[in-house]
Amino acid sequence: MSALIYIDLEHVHPVIDGVWHQIDLLRMPLPGQALTMLCGRAAAAEYATKDEVRQCNGSLRMCPDCDAVYRVRRGWLPSPRPRPQRHPR
């Protein structure tokens, strides 16, 4: 007998530097596979438990650019939270 472990690809959120992102996946990526987030940021796939990620990064933040793309694709209104503005240099 075997137990099926179901992973909903809609709820897979890669984490880069303590920020979780949205991504379009057709299947689970292999370790080391290049991934491109909705915001355009790229990184290689790695796997860890939630506890391991939080131990290294603390509380995770959502990528506002990925969130904006995700909402537009679904015809949703923009997030009511104010987006952080970049400081002029």
Task: Give per-residue pLDDT as tens, 46-86.
Answer: 998 888 877 776 778 899 999 999 999 999 887 776 666 66
20: in domain: yes
Phi first, then psi, for residue 43 (nearest 5°) are -165, 165
- Structural domain boundaries, residue 36: 9-73
CB atoms within 10 A of CB 49: 8
DSSP string, 2-36: -------GGG---EETTEE-----SSPPPTT-EEE
78: in domain: no
Instruction: Tell me how many domains the chain contains.
Output: 1
Hey, CA dihedral for 58, 55, 17, 65, is it positive or negative?
negative
2: in domain: no
pLDDT of residue 36: 97
42: in domain: yes
pLDDT of residue 30: 96
Contact by Cβ (8 Å): 37, 24? no
Percent of the chain with pLDDT over 90: 61
| Predicted TM-score (pTM) of this structure | 0.75
